[in-house]
Amino acid sequence: MSSNKVLVTGADGFIGSHLTEELVKKGYSVKAFVYYNSFNSYGWLDTISEKVKKEIEFFSGDIRDPFGVKEAMIGCDRVLHLASLIAIPYSYHSPATYIDTNIKGTLNVLQAARELNIAKVVHTSTSEVYGTALYVPIDENHPLQGQSPYSASKIGADQLALSFYRSFETPVAIARPFNTYGPRQSARAVIPTIIAQLASGTRNIQLGSIHPTRDFNYIKDTVDGFIAVMNHGNSIGEVINLGSNYEISIGETANLIAEVMGVKIEIKTDDQRLRPEKSEVERLWAENKKAKQLLSWEPKYRGKEGLRRGLRETIDWFMDKRNLASYKADEYNI
């Protein structure tokens, strides 16, 4: 329990909404930084219970605006910085927006944290910064490889965060989640893409490359990891992987989802879903020893059975027609 106020940037997104909801349930005072829009939408936070929503202080703004970011951070003790552009295909289309949002947005948070003497900033990284594994499992010392404009922007943001720690002693910790999945995830990610197609009655699944491997981390484990990074003082100045330490290919994942849903599928290659050859990250497999040692954090949904259990919970959410209605299963989401 904490009486300190926590700001969550990107609170309206997939991970951010789950994190915000869990912080409220744990008794934290939470301010949710959501992306301003003319629809007055709070993103996925619009779908949570009214009881939880009433406990949240909302701030609508734009992470690219330094004045709004600083205003949002006034009165907060800790900041969980998740606001980011994350779709890899869209980063090929509009790379400049990734620099503005991911790097300049992070700079705005760090500079405000320095000026306001914020007690802790947890910056969100991604396993994509590692690129294709040069060795496995991937630990935090693995070289960084920018294989897409998105991953390059996140490498820049990560290094900027570490530079503020080293230059100004800004209390920054970096959480580096591997491929998080679960309810509310955008259809730009592979697991919701597969589930949404199957839930809509399709049996010929449209996918890109199916041979690359990923380390899927269920949303509940990722959220627990973020809270652990926030609460442990020995995470300051550290980069910490949040992953399940289990590797599985995209094709195997699709077949596992079909098995859990009790259907037979045929996978079709959709060329527009393929990354450029040298941009495809072929292999991701997390080493999570550091998180265990520093944070006493360990994934509860680990191994194949843990993945199966997380997929079951995710599928159950998608099978609710109200949730499935938010997805366009017959269209490619860039």
pLDDT single digits (tens) 249-298: 999 999 999 999 999 999 999 999 999 999 999 999 999 999 999 999 99
- Whether residue 333 is predicted with pLDDT greater than 90 in this model: the reply is no
Counting other chains too, the contacts that 46-55 makes at CB distance below 8 Å and 24 or more residues apart are 47/17, 47/184, 48/17, 48/21, 52/21, 52/24, 52/25, 55/24, 55/30
* Same-domain check for residues 148 and 33: yes
Compute the distance between CA of residue 181 and CA of residue 214 in angstroms, rounded to an integer.
Answer: 11
* Same-domain check for residues 240 and 316: no
The predicted pLDDT at position 4 comes to: 84
Residue 334 lies in a domain: no
* Same-domain check for residues 135 and 228: yes
pLDDT band of residue 303 (cuts 50, 70, 90) is: very high
* Same-domain check for residues 124 and 195: no
* Same-domain check for residues 174 and 25: yes
Report the CATH number that the domain containing residue 137 is assigned in CATH.
Answer: 3.40.50.720
* Same-domain check for residues 34 and 74: yes
Mean pLDDT of 308-328: 97
- Whether residue 183 is predicted with pLDDT greater than 50 in this model: the reply is yes
Mean pLDDT of 120-129: 98
* Same-domain check for residues 142 and 203: no
Residue 222 lies in a domain: yes
Counting other chains too, the contacts that 12-15 makes at CB distance below 8 Å and 24 or more residues apart are 12/41, 12/42, 12/43, 12/44, 12/45, 13/43, 13/44, 13/82, 13/83, 14/44, 14/180, 14/182, 14/184, 14/185, 14/186, 14/219, 15/82, 15/124, 15/177, 15/180, 15/219, 15/222, 15/223, 15/226
* Same-domain check for residues 156 and 146: yes
Per-residue pLDDT of 137-167, as tens digits, reads: 999 999 999 999 999 999 999 999 999 999 9
* Same-domain check for residues 225 and 205: no
- Whether residue 1 is predicted with pLDDT greater than 80 in this model: the reply is no
Residue 329 lies in a domain: no
Total number of domains in the chain: 2
* Same-domain check for residues 206 and 288: no
- Whether residue 2 is predicted with pLDDT greater than 80 in this model: the reply is no
* Same-domain check for residues 104 and 143: yes
> Which structural domain, as residue segments, surrounds residue 135?
5-181+217-246+284-295
Percent of the chain beyond pLDDT 70?
99
Q: Are 33 and 72 in contact (CB under 8 A)?
A: yes
Report the CATH number that the domain containing residue 196 is assigned in CATH.
Answer: 3.90.25.10
- Sheet architecture: strand order including 78-81: 56-61, 29-35, 5-9, 78-81, 120-124, 172-177, 239-242
- Whether residue 201 is predicted with pLDDT greater than 60 in this model: the reply is yes
Residue 330 lies in a domain: no
- Whether residue 3 is predicted with pLDDT greater than 70 in this model: the reply is no
* Same-domain check for residues 64 and 197: no
CB atoms within 10 A of CB 313: 14
Residue 223 lies in a domain: yes
